[in-house]
């Protein structure tokens, strides 16, 4: 049978993943991966090199490809298209003061929320541009254009010959794009950088933006959270909680959101709708760090956590190991509350780490609810979602069923689905089946969330 194949890429903070799928059924044909170095800034050519290595040997028969990549990262190039400085990533918090300055200069949180759907924090590209202008002015003078990671990789795949492109989903995370008005706010870009620079053209989500050197069509691509929602086939009532390096909670919405508190970012999705999202800096690495303290692997760590009772005997972890984005505490550190001689066991420590991670995401889901999202279920994805302890603890912290989809590369899958959409020429994305899911009915323990919130209030007010 002569079938059409498409490829999707997830270029994340820590790795690159590639999937090749049948464009009609979504059947997985082959996959590949590579690694990225850890850190909060990186030379973007490393992404490009790792992408090429991962694509080598897997593109036979592929007719279209799309890139999904980490949001917010600041990629700057000069007039010749050369990289000006290492890209600052979403998890680089050095621009925290720049974020505070920009909020004040534009008249406060309400003005920002109405203009862009979001209140900028250190993660956003606009704050990184201000930091660059203030802290490295000589380097800033060389910048002719700013791109996001997925923009850069799509541009490179097209031979870096034409103007870069982006989609409204990823653009909505810059801090200088309005999802509601579907246009850049170049006045905010100039406010941040003190002069005008070029930005990628925003194209339709099903657009073909060019071709690779060997004739593979290039789809628009998008940000990682937007791609994951597309890969899952998320619809109204689905709240996705993703547990990777960062933790995110988001939902597809028919209307834009404007959260003046800044907890929820009013992003766009990858289909023409909206994606209100709350993000924490700390997720899966909380578990790996706690497992290292206990000197166990993640499988044993999960067993230890499940051996403890809900509430971990009174231990509560505020897990801000790398500062925090939601709540906006870029300079915070992790804090353990409630320690006594009776509860200081390995089991309780492990349980407190899992609960601390998930309580932060439960608060994120509550923020979505307060903006009008009505969850029917929670879809739990990401590397940490494979842990049995994470799955079972999640069922104690959410008041709707927790759904565990099959283990898959949902960001790369969403990018592949976008590529299939572009290849088809249709007005809507093709329907792909996600597969069998595990459903956990809620066993809600309000006391665990109450203890977490009380600890937060005691420390941060």
Distance CA 114, CA 30 (A): 44
Q: Identify which of 208, 218, 167 has the alpha carbon closest to the alpha carbon of residue 425.
A: 208
The string of DSSP letters for 62-79 reads: EEEEEEEE-SS-BEEE-T
- pLDDT tens, position by position, for the chain (461 residues)? 578 999 999 999 999 999 999 999 999 999 999 999 989 999 999 999 999 999 999 999 999 999 999 999 999 999 999 999 999 999 999 999 999 999 999 999 999 999 999 999 999 999 999 999 999 999 999 999 999 999 999 999 999 988 999 999 999 999 999 999 999 999 999 999 999 999 999 999 999 999 999 999 999 999 999 999 999 999 888 999 999 888 999 999 999 999 999 999 999 999 999 999 999 989 999 999 999 999 999 999 999 999 999 999 999 999 999 999 888 888 999 999 999 999 999 999 999 999 999 999 999 999 999 999 999 999 999 989 999 999 999 999 999 999 999 989 999 999 999 999 999 999 999 999 888 889 999 999 999 999 999 999 999 98
| pLDDT tens-digit readout, 152-209 | 999 999 999 889 999 999 999 999 999 999 999 999 999 999 999 999 999 999 999 9
Cα-flanking dihedrals φ and ψ of residue 52, to 5°? -65, -40
How do the domains of the chain map onto residue ranges?
Answer: 5-224
Cβ contact 68:223 at 8 Å:
yes
Packing angle between helix 346-370 and helix 284-294, nearest 10 degrees?
Answer: 170
pLDDT value of residue 461: 85
Distance CA 182, CA 121 (A): 21
Cβ contact 250:275 at 8 Å:
yes
pLDDT value of residue 1: 55
| pLDDT tens-digit readout, 334-382 | 999 999 999 999 999 999 999 999 999 999 999 999 999 999 999 999 9
Distance CA 313, CA 407 (A): 32
Predicted model pTM: 0.92
pLDDT value of residue 245: 85
Q: What is the CATH number of domain 5-224?
A: 3.30.420.40
State the DSSP code for 328: T
Cα-flanking dihedrals φ and ψ of residue 110, to 5°? -60, -45
Phi-psi label, residue 255: left if phi above 0, alpha if psi -120 to 50, beta otherwise: beta
pLDDT value of residue 161: 83
Distance CA 403, CA 433 (A): 15
Distance CA 154, CA 166 (A): 9
Q: Identify which of 96, 119, 99 has the alpha carbon closest to the alpha carbon of residue 109.
A: 119
Q: Catalytic residue positions?
A: 224
């Amino acid at each position: 049978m002569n079938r059409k194949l498409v490829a999707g890429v997830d270029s994340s903070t820590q790795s690159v993943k590639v999937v090749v799928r049948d464009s009609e059924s979504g059947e997985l044909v082959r996959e590949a991966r590579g690694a990225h170095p850890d850190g909060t800034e990186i030379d973007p050519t490393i992404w490009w090199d790792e992408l090429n290595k991962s694509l080598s040997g897997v593109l036979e028969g592929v007719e279209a490809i799309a890139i999904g990549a980490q949001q917010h990262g600041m990629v700057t190039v000069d007039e010749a298209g050369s990289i000006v400085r290492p890209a600052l990533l979403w998890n680089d918090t050095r621009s925290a003061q720049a974020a505070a300055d920009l909020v004040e200069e534009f008249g406060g949180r309400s003005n920002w929320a109405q203009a862009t759907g979001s209140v900028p924090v250190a993660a956003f590209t606009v704050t990184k541009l201000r930091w660059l202008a203030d802290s490295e002015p000589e380097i800033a003078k060389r910048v002719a254009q700013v791109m996001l990671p997925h923009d850069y990789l799509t541009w490179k795949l097209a031979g870096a010959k034409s103007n870069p492109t982006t989609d409204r989903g990823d653009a909505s995370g810059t801090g200088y794009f309005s999802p509601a008005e579907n246009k850049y706010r170049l006045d905010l870009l100039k406010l941040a950088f003190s002069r005008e620079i070029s930005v990628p053209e925003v194209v339709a989500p099903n657009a073909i933006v060019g071709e690779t050197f060997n004739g593979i069509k290039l789809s628009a691509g998008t940000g990682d959270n937007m791609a994951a929602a597309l890969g899952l086939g998320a619809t109204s009532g689905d709240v996705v909680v993703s547990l990777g390096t960062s933790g995110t909670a988001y939902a597809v919405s028919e209307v834009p959101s404007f959260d003046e508190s800044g907890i929820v970012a009013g992003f766009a999705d990858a289909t023409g709708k909206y994606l209100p999202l709350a993000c924490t800096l700390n997720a899966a690495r909380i578990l790996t760090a706690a497992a290292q303290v206990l000197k166990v692997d993640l499988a044993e760590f999960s067993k230890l956590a499940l051996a403890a009772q809900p509430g971990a005997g009174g231990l509560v972890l505020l897990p801000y190991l790398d500062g925090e984005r939601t709540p906006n505490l870029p300079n915070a550190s992790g804090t353990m509350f409630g320690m006594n001689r009776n509860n200081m066991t390995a089991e309780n420590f492990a349980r407190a780490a899992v609960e601390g991670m998930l309580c932060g995401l439960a608060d994120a889901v509550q923020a979505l609810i307060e903006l009008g999202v009505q969850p029917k279920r929670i879809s739990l994805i990401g590397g940490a979602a494979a842990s049995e302890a994470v799955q079972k603890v999640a069922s104690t912290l959410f008041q709707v069923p927790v759904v565990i989809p099959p283990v898959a590369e949902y960001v790369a899958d969403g990018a592949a689905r976008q590529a299939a959409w572009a290849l088809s020429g249709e007005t809507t994305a093709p329907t792909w089946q996600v597969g069998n899911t595990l459903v956990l009915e809620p066993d809600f323990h309000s006391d665990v969330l109450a203890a977490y919130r009380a600890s937060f209030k005691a420390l941060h007010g």
